[in-house]
Amino acid sequence: MQEKISIENQFSFYEKKSNDVFKRELEDLKTEYEVKNKEIFHSKWRKSQGYIPHGTRIRTITTIFGNLTYSCHQYKHWDKYKYRYVYLSDLALGIEKWAS
């Protein structure tokens, strides 16, 4: 005799699986962002353009998979009259300065 699976059990199963997928996707995004940050930090073009490392920060943004927290470097760059501060990995990934 075949058992019937209740709607509640199906929903619970779907919810658990979707949460697992979202967690995996968040980890993949975090890895991608931090790899890009590391590539820029070690790149010759960054050094030749005069971007000087000026510490790191922890950034949290909202994605379709949930909140993503990652680490990125801040750089200072001389702009005729003063130093300007920029996050090159955010620029490379298309993340806006005030994105939440």
Task: For 23-41, write each residue's pLDDT tens digit.
Answer: 999 999 999 999 999 999 9
Which distant-in-sequence residues (6+ apart) come within 8 Å of 83 by Cβ?
Answer: 76, 77
At residue 4, the pLDDT reads 64
Q: What distance in Å separates the CA atoms of residue 38 and residue 49, rounded to the nearest whole number?
A: 17
Note the pLDDT tens digit of each residue in 49-95: 999 999 999 989 888 888 999 999 999 999 889 999 999 998 888 88
Note the residue count of the chain: 100
Maximum CA extent, the chain: 81
**pTM summary value:** 0.74
Q: What distance in Å separates the CA atoms of residue 24 and residue 93, rounded to the nearest whole number?
A: 19
Q: What distance in Å separates the CA atoms of residue 15 and residue 20, rounded to the nearest whole number?
A: 9
Strand-pair partners of 81: none
At residue 24, the pLDDT reads 92
At residue 85, the pLDDT reads 92
pLDDT at 11 over 80: no
